[in-house]
Amino acid sequence: MTSVTIEEAQAKLPQLIDELTPGEEVVITKAGQPCAQVKKAGRTSWPCQAGTYRKEGFWLAPDFNAPLDDFQEYME
């Protein structure tokens, strides 16, 4: 858990929050004693849908889920 002084938090709170991952916490201290916690909220939605990855160089065969010929005897 990261710890920052109240002066640091006042000066750069937006930056501190942006650098947190969902669920991660920062403790804000005043005179060396913890006085508050800031926790980044978890995601409520995802930036893409499953199966929509289209990065160049990544290819998935259309028959990816098809049974393999070597295993036909086990599939019957």
Q: Where are the domains of the chain?
A: 1-42
User: What pLDDT shows up at residue 66?
Assistant: 84
Whether the predicted pLDDT of 64 surpasses 90 = no
* Protein fold of 1-42: YefM-like fold (3.40.1620)
User: What pLDDT shows up at residue 14?
Assistant: 93
Whether the predicted pLDDT of 25 surpasses 80 = yes
CA-closest candidate to residue 29, choices 63, 1, 70:
1
**pLDDT tens by residue, 14-24:** 999 999 988 89
Alpha-carbon gap, residue 29 to 48, rounded angstroms: 38
| Start-end of H helices in the chain | 6-19, 72-75
